[in-house]
Structure 1
Amino acid sequence: MHGFLLWLTIFLDLLLPSIFGALLYISYRRRIKLRRERDILLQEKEAALGFVHNVGEVFADSDSVDMTSLLARVLHYAVRTCKASAGAVHLVNTKTSRLEARSISGVFPPPFEVNIEHLDLDQDATLHLEKLVQQTPLALGKGLIGEAAVLGNSILVEDAEMDSRVPQLPVGFLRIRTLLIVPMRFGNHTIGVMTLVNRTNGEQFALSDLNLAQALAAQASVPIHYAGLQETLEEKRELDRGMQIAQQIQHSLLPQELPALPSVELAAFNHPAMDIGGDYYDFINIDDKHIGLAIADVSGKGIGGALMMAVCRSVLRINAENVYDPSSMLCSLNQTLSSNLADDMFISMLYMVLNLDTHQLSYARAGHEAPIIIRSGEPKAIQVETSGIAIGLVDNQTFGAVIETHNISLLPGDLVVSYTDGVTEAMNSAGDEWGTENLIKAVERMANASAPDLLENIHTEVLGFTGDNRQSDDMTMLALKIKG
């Protein structure tokens, strides 16, 4: 018994120091690990705070934020903090559903396939490479960057040279050795992807670098999102300013005042469905005894229709002098304009020539609605249909073979009303059109009124019919009445 106790005492004397030593060593290692984790967290916190302060300077004392400057600052801070050699930020273009490089820092070797045939490595390779990356949009879901954008997951490639997912350029200084790809998300949506390439000390990126990059990306996403909204708003403002200018220009192309004629009363109105439209009317002095009256409708609305309307007006005014046959005038227009019209664009036009002495009215229709004519004292209006094809649909030979001129002698009190289909096709909330029949009835009711009063009443009737339903097409009317 005494021998056993002696051996136990010796054993404990030998073992306890080892156990205590091991426990002390384990405790020391744990303290080292915790201190390292604490240092990393502090580094991330300081980086995030520094980043917020750094980016906040972009917004300070500024009514607008330049997205390019913001992204450059974000990327510069991320590259410096994560000790990367180069980096890039791709933002999602919601219109094209592609990722576009909006900021690049350093010599950025692209971790995606690029065409390097035109890459000049001898002269300013960095600039050429940057342009190449900027000119290469990335598909969402394809490649490492596209995959990170769709899945919303960060990607750490420690040894990129051993990873088949990372394409490598056959140029030594453009080799990708290690790689970080971090999505930038706002809410549930990815707004961009930040990519960092190669550490400056030649080591591999580690998990701590990934965590730091993710923290910076999370902080950057908020200002980038709001800067993007501001950028979109500014683009809209710029577009609105352009539309305002276009509207003013188009308005200036329409007659600013009606010709004052001793024996003829004129009236007209034009109400585009959008800020600018494709309808057009004009009065043209052919000579001292003849006046030309045009009303036209360019297919399509908006800027395209407005531009073509302006071209049509210019060509008509240049060629109308001393041309008394409306068919010849429309043939000249078709010959000049048809080659300049897009495949899906055409122009319908009614062109009339009025002899101010005899009051003979000649008109021809290029696919346009026939004028409504009501004789003085007659209860019913008439529409004389003549053949013709819209400008821009056929060659000039076919156009000239089809179109015809109609002549009519007007007497005091006679009324002629022309219009575009936006008037007759105006819809109410139930989807019903106002229609040609209602227009003719309105003309018949108001036949004894002056030309301006007639058009004003018709416009009021159309608006009363459509109610709150949005106007879907341009509305234009032109009227002439022989004074009696």
Structure 2
Amino acid sequence: MTTVLLVLLVLLMTAGLLMLGKIARQQKQALVALRAEEEAIVAEERRMFHYLHDLGEAIWRDDQQASMYRLIVEGAVRVTQSTGGALYLLDEASQKLVPRHYSDFCAPLIAVPEKVRLQMKENPGALLSTLRIHALASEEGLLGGIFTQQKTELVADLGADVRLGPVLVSTQEGVTAMIGPLSFGVRRLGVLAVTSPKQGRSYNANDFEVFNSLIEQSAFALANAMSHQEAAKNRMDQQELTNASQIQQVLLPERDPQTPGFVIAGKNIPARTLSGDYFDYLKLPEGRFGAVIADVSGKGIGAAMITVMCRTLMRAKAPTAASPSAVLAAVNRQIAPDIREDMFITMAYVVAEEDGKKLTLSRAGHNAALLWRKATGVVEALHPPGLGVGIDKGSVFERVTKDLTFEMQPGDTLLLYTDGVNEAMDPKGIEFGEERVQDELAKYAAEGPKAVINGIIADLEQFLKGRRSHDDITLIAMQKTA
């Protein structure tokens, strides 16, 4: 009996030890698994940290955009331990999702065109080349649907998704993907995706949560980078405009000319950085003198470039032309074939003979020239017929545009001006008007050309009540002295 009890006791002790050993092994395995999970989490956090760090630095660098696009995709692939990834951004002009970076091993996320499937038989690289350039409508297919719905998806089986169309390629089968829309505030930016073969990687809830965080951070980085780049571009554009304005100002007369028999003054005030107006003085053969004023329809760089063309052509054609209208006709024949259909130029060109008494005026659709007579104090409007430069390529312009010859007596003052003067509006929308311009000329003419220009500008500023004029302002005043 005692022997039996001893055997039972030994068996119980052995079973207990075995049980304790099993529990110890299970605890050890659990600890190993827990440690592996912790290490995986730490590694994932480290990958995410490096990703965010690289993104943060990229925002403030003036790298090419392609560098940031690659960084976003490669970072997302690395953090999620995927095989490939792709970034599509919305082109606002075309409203298409355009691939900005498509990694080598990212599964096709679009319906592959039949033409490409045929090309792949002879050239396997045709698929990747297509994926890297093929844009799609913002609501088209799998990517377009996710972009439109603005909801991240975990696609368990890419090959089973009907949004990829009825015919697949081999690299779309047996693939899982996470795809999310990139947006910042109300601005929709694009789509980010990562893919991996199902046999090598199975995304879980934690992966999906991490990917959503990547989506949020990537969108934030893209929006900030875009803002930074837009600001840098605006600064560069502004600097270019400033440089262009400085060049344009150099092309205007540096000082008022010293011309026998006349006192002359001119001024240009751009409404913006660049002016669509210009004026110039021309020394002509046989002691003659010319003054030209012009106003290009439109604003900005395009209008400024046309003023440079006008100046160049006027200086080239004026010395050999028979009359002011012939000069304008030659300028028109050169410019009209190349100018945009919605643009034209109004010009006024006056030439004084050597004795200064006889003057000839030609007008290409420009404001009437105003002539103040000292003897009577009356202002006359001089408006020979003329068509704007660029409206017709030649024959009609030359038939319509005529010369007007007139004389000036000592003390008489001629004023040429652009419509930025008479069309200036006060805060109530009332125009300065041509009649007021005539009154201004009569008011200041006796004091000389500088007084005319300064007086009109001062009264215009008072009329505008501190507002900036919506159009360029240019004036030339000529007073006969002897």
TM-score interval, normalised by the smaller of the two chains = 0.7 to 0.9
Q: Which residue of 1 aligns with 2:192?
A: 194
Q: Work out whether 1:55 is the aligned partner of 2:35.
A: no
Q: Work out whether 1:322 is the aligned partner of 2:320.
A: yes
Alignment of 1:14-33 (within 5 A): none
Q: Residue 148 and residue 191 in structure 1: after superposition, are their counterparts in 2 closer, same or farther (change >3 A)? A: same
1:393 and 1:406 map into 2 onto residues whose CA distance is 22
Q: Which residue of 2 aligns with 1:213?
A: 211
Alignment of 1:157-196 (within 5 A): 157-167=155-165, 172=170, 177-196=175-194
Q: Of residues 80, 85, 110 in structure 2, which corresponds to 1:112?
A: 110
Q: Residue 162 and residue 317 in structure 1: after superposition, are their counterparts in 2 closer, same or farther (change >3 A)? A: same
The one-letter amino acid paired with 2:333 is Q
Q: Which residue of 1 aligns with 2:337?
A: 339
Q: Of residues 347, 359, 362 in structure 2, which corresponds to 1:361?
A: 359
Q: Which residue of 1 aligns with 2:440?
A: 442
Q: Residue 180 and residue 306 in structure 1: after superposition, are their counterparts in 2 closer, same or farther (change >3 A)? A: same
What secondary structure, in the 3-state scheme, does the structure 2 residue paired with 1:194 have? strand
Residue 359 of structure 1 deviates from its aligned partner by 2.5
Could you tell which deviates more after superposition, 49-58 or 252-261? 49-58
Give the conservation status (yes or no) of the 8 Å contact 2:48–2:79: no
Q: Residue 167 and residue 369 in structure 1: after superposition, are their counterparts in 2 closer, same or farther (change >3 A)? A: same
2:234 and 2:283 map into 1 onto residues whose CA distance is 41
The one-letter amino acid paired with 1:51 is Y
Q: Residue 358 and residue 244 in structure 1: after superposition, are their counterparts in 2 closer, same or farther (change >3 A)? A: closer
Q: Which residue of 2 aligns with 1:253?
A: 251
**Cα deviation 1:38-65 (Å, max 9, x = unaligned):** 8886665444334223434546xx6656
What secondary structure, in the 3-state scheme, does the structure 1 residue paired with 2:366 have? coil
Residue 203 of structure 1 deviates from its aligned partner by 4.8
Alignment of 1:33-432 (within 5 A): 45-58=45-58, 64=62, 67-94=65-92, 97-108=95-106, 110-112=108-110, 132-133=130-131, 135-167=133-165, 172=170, 177-199=175-197, 202-203=200-201, 205-432=203-430
Residue 275 of structure 1 deviates from its aligned partner by 0.6
Q: Residue 186 and residue 131 in structure 1: after superposition, are their counterparts in 2 closer, same or farther (change >3 A)? A: same
The one-letter amino acid paired with 1:305 is A
Residue 442 of structure 1 deviates from its aligned partner by 0.6
Q: Residue 154 and residue 236 in structure 1: after superposition, are their counterparts in 2 closer, same or farther (change >3 A)? A: same
Normalising by structure 1, we get a TM-score of 0.84
What secondary structure, in the 3-state scheme, does the structure 2 residue paired with 1:434 have? coil
2:442 and 2:353 map into 1 onto residues whose CA distance is 25
Q: Residue 123 and residue 312 in structure 1: after superposition, are their counterparts in 2 closer, same or farther (change >3 A)? A: farther
What secondary structure, in the 3-state scheme, does the structure 2 residue paired with 1:320 have? helix
Give the conservation status (yes or no) of the 8 Å contact 2:270–2:473: yes
Q: Residue 418 and residue 209 in structure 1: after superposition, are their counterparts in 2 closer, same or farther (change >3 A)? A: same
Structure 1 portions without partners, runs of 5+: 1-23
Structure 2 portions without partners, runs of 5+: 1-22
What secondary structure, in the 3-state scheme, does the structure 2 residue paired with 1:461 have? helix
Q: Of residues 452, 455, 460 in structure 2, which corresponds to 1:454?
A: 452
Give the conservation status (yes or no) of the 8 Å contact 1:66–1:227: no
Give the paired residue count. Answer: 453
1:410 and 1:116 map into 2 onto residues whose CA distance is 81
Q: Residue 429 and residue 138 in structure 1: after superposition, are their counterparts in 2 closer, same or farther (change >3 A)? A: farther
2:135 and 2:108 map into 1 onto residues whose CA distance is 12
Q: Residue 116 and residue 438 in structure 1: after superposition, are their counterparts in 2 closer, same or farther (change >3 A)? A: farther
Q: Residue 389 and residue 116 in structure 1: after superposition, are their counterparts in 2 closer, same or farther (change >3 A)? A: farther
Residue 329 of structure 1 deviates from its aligned partner by 1.1
**Cα deviation 1:340-389 (Å, max 9, x = unaligned):** 11110111111111113242110111111110001122221000222111
What secondary structure, in the 3-state scheme, does the structure 2 residue paired with 1:321 have? helix
Residue 267 of structure 1 deviates from its aligned partner by 0.7
Residue 145 of structure 1 deviates from its aligned partner by 2.2
Q: Residue 57 and residue 457 in structure 1: after superposition, are their counterparts in 2 closer, same or farther (change >3 A)? A: closer
What secondary structure, in the 3-state scheme, does the structure 1 residue paired with 2:379 have? coil
The one-letter amino acid paired with 1:348 is T
Give the conservation status (yes or no) of the 8 Å contact 1:286–1:323: no
Q: Give the root-mean-square deviation of aligned CA atoms.
A: 3.2
**Cα deviation 1:294-342 (Å, max 9, x = unaligned):** 1111110111111111111111111111324111111111111110111
Q: Residue 130 and residue 348 in structure 1: after superposition, are their counterparts in 2 closer, same or farther (change >3 A)? A: farther
What secondary structure, in the 3-state scheme, does the structure 1 residue paired with 2:196 have? strand
Give the conservation status (yes or no) of the 8 Å contact 1:427–1:469: no
Give the conservation status (yes or no) of the 8 Å contact 1:364–1:405: yes
1:123 and 1:309 map into 2 onto residues whose CA distance is 57
**Cα deviation 1:219-241 (Å, max 9, x = unaligned):** 33333222221111111111112
Q: Residue 116 and residue 317 in structure 1: after superposition, are their counterparts in 2 closer, same or farther (change >3 A)? A: farther
Q: Residue 281 and residue 91 in structure 1: after superposition, are their counterparts in 2 closer, same or farther (change >3 A)? A: same
Normalising by structure 2, we get a TM-score of 0.84
**Cα deviation 1:91-130 (Å, max 9, x = unaligned):** 334555443333332244542357686998699976x766
Residue 413 of structure 1 deviates from its aligned partner by 1.0
**Cα deviation 1:167-215 (Å, max 9, x = unaligned):** 5887655778333211223345433321123339555555444333212
1:100 and 1:384 map into 2 onto residues whose CA distance is 59
Give the conservation status (yes or no) of the 8 Å contact 2:108–2:171: no
The one-letter amino acid paired with 1:469 is R
2:121 and 2:354 map into 1 onto residues whose CA distance is 76
What secondary structure, in the 3-state scheme, does the structure 2 residue paired with 1:75 have? helix
**Cα deviation 1:9-49 (Å, max 9, x = unaligned):** xxxxxxxxxxxxxxx9xx99xx99x9699888666544433
**Cα deviation 1:68-88 (Å, max 9, x = unaligned):** 333322211211232333212
